[in-house]
Amino acid sequence: MHADGAPEPFSTPRLDALPLDVAHAREMAAVLSDPALHTYTGGAPEDAAALRARYARQSAGSPDPAELWWNWVLRVRADGRLAGYAQATLRAGRAEVAWVIGTPWQGRGYAKEAAVGMVRHLLTRQAVRSVVAHIHPDHAASAAVAAAAGLTATDEREDGEVRWRRDAPRAAGGDEVQP
């Protein structure tokens, strides 16, 4: 984490996760333009102006000093194009995460790669003791991504979504160890 609380970039074999910037809004408006991306989460695609405003708020960070908002755009290294985003809200050692891959890039393993990379980044480089995702019970693709990132479905629900969780490993003495 940077001194100002901003997220550090991370990379996976094919993706660069870059801290979100208002300058990404135009390209991301096209990436996120398919209404089908909102099937399980609600809402509708936003145009570049709406995304610029949202990205400005997100980049400024949480108004709550005890909470950090980390947002990354996902750039495909092979062609330099943005393909989606990953995000984490950090509070008291817990990271709530989410990911979205634009429709044209789906089916290539990018969501899995981004989620695995983000969870590893959070658990190995940050003071995160648990990672949580909330997934609609009918969203099989997102559930598969969560499982690939080492999260396990729980019996807990929030707003009708299944809570998935992964805790940082603990050493024999109770101290956290790096995964």
Residue reference for tokens 């997100």: 58
CA distance 59 to 48: 16
Specify the pLDDT at position 113. 98
Write the CB contacts of 80 (distance below 8 Å, at least 6 apart in sequence): none
Phi, psi of 116 (to 5 degrees): -60, -45
Specify the pLDDT at position 32. 97
Pairing of strands 130-135, 94-101: parallel
pTM reported for the whole predicted model: 0.91
Write the CB contacts of 96 (distance below 8 Å, at least 6 apart in sequence): 88, 89, 132, 133, 134
Give the tens place of pLDDT for each residue, 13-70: 999 999 999 999 999 999 999 999 999 988 999 999 999 999 999 999 999 999 999 9
Q: What is the mean pLDDT of residues 82-108?
A: 96
